[in-house]
Chain A
Amino acid sequence: MDSSDLLGGARRRPVSAADLVVLCLICAAIGAVVAFAREFEAPYTQAIQIDLSPAALPRYTLYSLSRGVIALAISFLFALVYGWAAASSATGERFLLPVLDILQSIPVLGFLPGLVLGLVALFPSRNAGLELAAILMIFTAQAWNLAFSFYNSLKSVPEPLREATRIAGWGSWQIFRGLEVPSAMPGLVWNGMLSMAGGWFFLMVNEAFQLGDRDFRLPGIGSYMSVAVEHGDRRAMILALVAMTAMIVSVDRLFWRPVVVWAQRFRLDDSAGEAPATSWLLEFFRRSRLRVRTHAVRHSAVRTAKRATQPLRRSLRSANRILRRVPRPRPGRALLIKIGSGIGVLLLLAGGAWGIWHLATLLAQLSLPAWGRLAEAAGLTFVRVILAVALSTAWALPAGVLIGKSPRASQFFQPFIQIVASFPAPMIFPIVVIGLAFLGVGLSVGSIVLMILSSQWYVLFNVISAVAALPPQLAEAADVFKLTGWRRWKSLYLPAAFPALVTGWITAAGGAWNASIVSEYIEVGGGVRTTLGLGSLISEATAKANFPLLAGGITVMSIIVVGWNRLVWRRLATQAQTRFGVTQ
């Protein structure tokens, strides 16, 4: 979701050798997962029954929420490890960053069948495997931007702070814990909010989907909605939407607001002018005496211990001084690191070769007409994605400027839009499809509407924040020189919004590609509505357990998305930043 990688990583050539290697490795991973799934065919098991009564809904909502929270926790751990590895060595940076860039832009949903089959086979207890698969799928929607955020924070820790910790004798673990993680906290929290919202996107599919003749289902709000749609139970559908909204609002109010306020203390810039965000919940926690008390107890315990060791202190202290003066030798660490990274590279290459071979055997099973169908489908979906982004821009750009230029409007709309944007659009797809069918619009055009539903917010948010961040002097200058109406938009708002608009486009297009998988192939009221497209081919291949087609679909989509990012978006982003960046 974060496009800073595209800006920061912009080099002269759009595709480098490292990128090609990375692309091969990704293809290998796809092949490996799909192949793995084929070999471990689990025995058929009856899907669990979903209770459509309202009383069961709170329980289901909590199930889904805990999956999201567990996935977020895993994502944080992943981000810390991955970001640190990428930031701490030049080699790591060269390989890990492009991998991340690709991972966040390819349709990870395509991995779901393989993952589910593999994990179900791995765990004798059916639910454990399914649960793990669902959590991992949510994880794949949450982890990448967090890792980018942590990497960027690590790279922007001010050098004097690093030097201060080093000269204070901190080891790398202490620096990580005491400097690097705290200074990354505001960014991590902000991206955590985005990740949480992004993680709900495929909730329905993650909790209930069919693979061949098998029905995999987990208790949760997503599966509740799927079953409600399947049965055409309108009351249950509405209840599910209400429960989802309630969950999003309460997570925002009860969890994120306090955390955002708490994270303010980790800001590195000293500007005291900005009023800190407030949260009633944090205020509540702050006023409670509990925290202070535990703190005091800890300190008095320390003091007692201190008194007991008083006689030893002086001798320890002088010994310590002598010890600390001796320069510490550092034996052959460089050699160990070299051997370790050498082994790592070899393992990676071996895994890559194995995976590529598997993917190649899978793809070789596709007939020439199948490839032709893939190409046609890819073209159709490509046009839909472009149209969705264009139409999103058509309404969200003017709306974003209007909201962004008035502080009052942005204050009023922002929380509302944030909630709406966090809502997983696929959950209302079935309702929209029924509505469109009523109007006589088929899925071929209708899927564009569905893509817009899931990608418009990126454009809107980015434009609002860019226009809101415009230095007030520029608006005043426009007033003084009587720039009004269209001239004001042309010379002030649109150029100022452009870099953010490009960022919005990048994420919106990514969202639209992802959405194609669930918008070109929809199960409504027991039947399946479908239109030709890459997304529907992938969904269809999943439903029919056609693994060669699935692998082909994912590969084609990955190549299109990554290639487009490299060749078009990245150039545009660099151009936009150098020409229209207000900060420069």
Chain B
Amino acid sequence: MTGTAPTAATPGTGTGSTGPVLLEARNVTQRFRLPNAGEFEALRDVSLAVREREVVALVGPSGCGKSTFLRILAGLAAPVSGSVLYRGHPVEGVLTSAAMVFQSFALLPWLTVEDNVAMGLTAGRDLKASDRTAVTRAIDLVGLSGFEQAYPRELSGGMKQRVGFARALAVEPEILFMDEPFGALDALTAENLRAQVTELWQDPQTGVSTLIVVTHSVDEAVFLAGRVVVFGTNPGHIREILDVPLPYPRDPRAPAFQAMVDRLHAILTATLLPEAERPAAPGVPTRLVGFPRVHVPEVLGLLDHLAGREQESGSVFDIAEQLAVDYDRMTSVVRAAEQLGWVVTPGEQVRLTPAGRTLVAADTADRKPIVRSRVAEHPLFARVVMMLSEAEGGALDDDEVLADLTIMLPFSKASMVYRTVIEWGRYVGLLDHSTRDKRLVLVQPEAPETAEAGGA
């Protein structure tokens, strides 16, 4: 229970535990080959040491490689460069002293609860005598006794995840990996299971020494972890490490807990809405900024919501909660609105700008031209429009546009960015796309100045 010891170390260097290092990642870099040639760098130079009796949470925006990192730690995937050490020895293949709990439960539907729990003990063979007690014990631990002969299909989501935990606990794992274990559950069930996880970790009977959990939820990270590792994107890297020196069991309503949540919010906001990403003034050449993969109605919805709020502003977290939107998704929407100049984000706050106010006040018919002028100025769209206007007939094959996007935005998946560009371009009547011909077409505008460029 060293995790309860309050160690007041500075973020980034501190540890929640003082035990020996159990699992260590050294300069891990991971890249994936993309279908349209080119590579996607998911992680760059990530190093992290996890000690015995520690609970570590990995948080960050989607696409920051935290799940990839979890799989590399577990030995399910091998990094392109760098290494993972278990008690000082390099890990080859799957880590044998570990178990994992999955967001999608990953239960075999044709096996009973009992047989699913026994998966790690039997390695697919028939149950041995000694295994049966371990299975029964694990099923008891998660409170599933009586369900041994049930099939996963017959269980609710929460019950399924209990089976997932029982399966992991049955092998008495030293390290328990959890990939968004409560992500697919409703709020009530998730809360109930979350409380049980800390109990299980503290219970010496389970044999679990260390928990490593990937999560989307700030509250969950603070509730569970002794250390919270915040990942940044483009490419995935560790931004900051926050110690959570609160005693277990933790009370989410306690002021100390809330203070910790606020601190983590602040770190995440700095990661998700970095001040440097604001687009430079029009005309100034700058590094090309990617456009978040959000839909038009989402951004307009955010603006409408802000206009109805007091002082036309609010905290990103509050808004996300109020609108029942994923925090991660909400920050993407806010980033898009910010890039188009409709909101500003001082700290965690989001505030409507005068330009945003004008847009909200306009009726549906007038909105399009307003959005259009803003989108056309955005460096990414401006670049695509320029490419098209230089091309013969104002049209380009998908392959060419994708190749260019891959070069311009090396850390984003070009096909996803392209889909967003098409959606926004179509909405504002700037671009059109033919699925049949696989071509992007510049819509000839009525405005004279761009018409000249189109004829060139």
A166 surroundings in chain B (CB, below 8 A) = 76, 94
- Contact, CB under 8 Å: B129 / A158: no
B98 surroundings in chain A (CB, below 8 A) = 167
A267 surroundings in chain B (CB, below 8 A) = 109
B197 at the interface (CB under 8 A from A): no
B120 surroundings in chain A (CB, below 8 A) = 167-169
Give 1 or 0 for each of A254-276: 1 = CB within 8 Å of chain B CB. 00000000000111101010000
A326 surroundings in chain B (CB, below 8 A) = 96
A173 surroundings in chain B (CB, below 8 A) = 124
A43 surroundings in chain B (CB, below 8 A) = none
B171 surroundings in chain A (CB, below 8 A) = 168
A306 at the interface (CB under 8 A from B): yes
Bound complex: CA of A270 vs CA of B435, how far in Å? 33
Give 1 or 0 for each of A151-183: 1 = CB within 8 Å of chain B CB. 000000010110111111111011101110010
B99 surroundings in chain A (CB, below 8 A) = 167-168
Kindly provide the distance from the CB of B51 to the nearest chain A CB, expressed in whole angstroms: 17
Give 1 or 0 for each of B22-60: 1 = CB within 8 Å of chain A CB. 000000000000000000000000000000000000000
Q: Count residues of chain B with CB under 8 A from any CB of chain A.
A: 44
Among the stretches B85-93, B309-317, B346-354, B372-380, the one at the interface with A is B85-93
A158 surroundings in chain B (CB, below 8 A) = 104, 106
- Contact, CB under 8 Å: A328 / B93: yes
Partner of A179, one of B108, B151, B172: B108
Give 1 or 0 for each of B107-129: 1 = CB within 8 Å of chain A CB. 11110000000011001110101
User: Which residues of B171-201 have CB atoms within 8 Å of chain A's CB atoms?
Assistant: 171-172, 174, 177
Give 1 or 0 for each of A292-322: 1 = CB within 8 Å of chain B CB. 0000000000110111010001001100010
- Contact, CB under 8 Å: B76 / A317: no
A167 surroundings in chain B (CB, below 8 A) = 74, 76, 94-95, 98-100, 120, 177
Kindly provide the distance from the CB of B145 to the nearest chain A CB, expressed in whole angstroms: 18
Beyond A163-B76, A163-B106, A167-B100, is A327–B127 a contact (Cβ under 8 Å)? no
Bound complex: CA of A421 vs CA of B92, how far in Å? 54
- Contact, CB under 8 Å: A328 / B96: yes
Bound complex: CA of A270 vs CA of B102, how far in Å? 16
Beyond A160-B104, A317-B130, is A165–B92 a contact (Cβ under 8 Å)? no
A171 surroundings in chain B (CB, below 8 A) = 123-124
- Contact, CB under 8 Å: A266 / B110: yes
Bound complex: CA of A234 vs CA of B107, how far in Å? 59
- Contact, CB under 8 Å: B106 / A182: no
- Contact, CB under 8 Å: B130 / A306: yes
B239 at the interface (CB under 8 A from A): no
Bound complex: CA of A158 vs CA of B105, how far in Å? 11
Give 1 or 0 for each of B313-355: 1 = CB within 8 Å of chain A CB. 0000000000000000000000000000000000000000000
B132 at the interface (CB under 8 A from A): yes
Bound complex: CA of A305 vs CA of B109, how far in Å? 29
Bound complex: CA of A405 vs CA of B91, how far in Å? 58
A289 surroundings in chain B (CB, below 8 A) = none
Bound complex: CA of A327 vs CA of B83, how far in Å? 14
A302 surroundings in chain B (CB, below 8 A) = 127, 129, 132
Kindly provide the distance from the CB of A108 to the nearest chain B CB, expressed in whole angstroms: 35
- Contact, CB under 8 Å: A164 / B102: yes
Partner of A324, one of B97, B106, B153: B97
A329 at the interface (CB under 8 A from B): yes
B71 at the interface (CB under 8 A from A): yes
> How would you classify the secondary structure of chain B's contact residues: helix, strand, loop or mixed?
loop
Kindly provide the distance from the CB of B393 to the nearest chain A CB, expressed in whole angstroms: 22
A406 at the interface (CB under 8 A from B): no
- Contact, CB under 8 Å: B130 / A313: yes
Bound complex: CA of A268 vs CA of B105, how far in Å? 12
- Contact, CB under 8 Å: A178 / B97: no
Partner of A272, one of B95, B106, B153: B153
A175 surroundings in chain B (CB, below 8 A) = 124
B127 surroundings in chain A (CB, below 8 A) = 302
Name the residue of chain B whose CB is nearest to the CB of A298: B126
Partner of B436, one of A177, A178, A327, A579: A579
Name the residue of chain A whose CB is nearest to the CB of B435: A578
Beyond A164-B102, A265-B151, is A303–B129 a contact (Cβ under 8 Å)? yes
B132 surroundings in chain A (CB, below 8 A) = 302, 306
Bound complex: CA of A307 vs CA of B129, how far in Å? 8
Bound complex: CA of A326 vs CA of B130, how far in Å? 21
Bound complex: CA of A173 vs CA of B124, how far in Å? 9
A13 at the interface (CB under 8 A from B): no
Name the residue of chain A whose CB is nearest to the CB of B96: A324
A330 at the interface (CB under 8 A from B): yes
- Contact, CB under 8 Å: B129 / A161: no
A482 at the interface (CB under 8 A from B): no
Kindly provide the distance from the CB of A326 to the nearest chain B CB, expressed in whole angstroms: 7
- Contact, CB under 8 Å: A160 / B106: yes
User: Which residues of B411-442 have CB atoms within 8 Å of chain A's CB atoms?
Assistant: 435-436
Name the residue of chain A whose CB is nearest to the CB of B124: A174
Kindly provide the distance from the CB of A153 to the nearest chain B CB, expressed in whole angstroms: 14
Name the residue of chain B whose CB is nearest to the CB of A309: B129
Name the residue of chain B whose CB is nearest to the CB of A166: B94
B107 surroundings in chain A (CB, below 8 A) = 164
A325 at the interface (CB under 8 A from B): yes
A328 surroundings in chain B (CB, below 8 A) = 92-93, 96
- Contact, CB under 8 Å: A169 / B130: no
- Contact, CB under 8 Å: A163 / B100: yes
User: Which residues of A105-135 have CB atoms within 8 Å of chain B's CB atoms?
Assistant: none
- Contact, CB under 8 Å: B106 / A164: yes
Partner of B109, one of A169, A268, A303, A329: A268
Kindly provide the distance from the CB of A150 to the nearest chain B CB, expressed in whole angstroms: 17
Bound complex: CA of A128 vs CA of B280, how far in Å? 83
**A173-B124, A321-B172, A330-B93 known, 11 other contacts, Cβ within 8 Å:** A167-B95, A168-B120, A168-B123, A174-B124, A178-B108, A305-B129, A306-B129, A307-B129, A316-B130, A579-B435, A579-B436
Q: What are 27 A-B residue pairs whose CB atoms fall within 8 Å in the complex?
A: A158-B104, A160-B103, A160-B104, A160-B106, A161-B108, A163-B76, A163-B100, A163-B106, A165-B124, A168-B120, A168-B123, A169-B94, A170-B123, A171-B124, A174-B124, A174-B125, A177-B124, A178-B124, A265-B109, A265-B151, A266-B110, A267-B109, A306-B129, A309-B130, A324-B97, A327-B89, A578-B435
A residues sitting closer than 8 Å to B (CB atoms) are: 158, 160-161, 163-171, 173-175, 177-179, 182, 265-268, 270, 272, 302-303, 305-307, 309, 313, 316-317, 321, 324-330, 578-579
| 4 tightest Cβ-Cβ pairs between the two chains A and B | A306-B129, A174-B124, A168-B120, A160-B106
